[in-house]
Amino acid sequence: MVYRMINNLGLLGTSTILSVFASIISFLMLFITNLVIGRELTLASSFLAVIIPLIIAPISSYVLLGLLSKLKKANEELEKALEEVKELSGMLPICASCKKVRDDNGYWNQVEEYLSKKTDLKFSHGLCPICYEEESKKIDEFLAKKEKLKIKVKS
């Protein structure tokens, strides 16, 4: 019931209504307690029973409104993060030869380019030990061929 009230009236309106109810209940409790004890209800105690909830409720509403705002913002951030995670889940079409990835529009992109667009990833490139050895061999072969060509040209 209170949840529906908050949705319809907003937090401030709901807290105002609840503070009025709290004041009435507080006054009735004071009245019944004094009746059972046999004391008369004084104006000061009646005033405090009604006023205190009316003072405290708007202050607590302001605090709750701030917390609710922060919670809403955090929830939006989490929903955005979940959307990004969902976007990167599932099947990813990738070329078996060149390793390019097909995007939603049917275009083929480098893996780095695709992931950079979809996430906050930044890439740096290097060579693993196996590729380093292979590339070193290619460079050595190239330099050897170049050296042979120099020798043939001089002769």
pLDDT per residue over 19-37, tens digit each? 777 777 777 777 777 776 7
pLDDT tens-digit map of 38-56? 677 677 666 666 677 667 7
Give the helix, strand, coil percentages of the chain, each rounded to 5.
75, 5, 25
12 lies in the same domain as 59: yes
Rounded (10°) angle between helices 2-37 and 43-87: 160
**Hey, what are 146's tokens?**
């170049």
**Hey, what are 72's tokens?**
């809403």
Count of structural domains, the chain:
2
The more confidently predicted of residues 118 and 16 is 118
pLDDT tens-digit map of 104-149? 899 999 988 888 887 778 888 888 999 999 999 999 999 998 888 7
8 lies in the same domain as 70: yes
Which structural domain, as residue segments, surrounds residue 11? 2-87
The verdict on residue 96 lying in a domain is no
The more confidently predicted of residues 72 and 8 is 72
Tell me, what's the pLDDT at 24?
77
Tell me, what's the pLDDT at 68?
78
49 lies in the same domain as 82: yes
Tell me, what's the pLDDT at 85?
72
106 lies in the same domain as 80: no
Cβ pair 18, 53 in contact under 8 A? no
The verdict on residue 115 lying in a domain is yes
The more confidently predicted of residues 145 and 58 is 145
**pLDDT over threshold 70, residue 88:** no
78 lies in the same domain as 113: no
Long-range contacts, 63-68 (Cβ 8 Å, 24+): 64/11, 64/15, 65/11, 65/12, 68/11
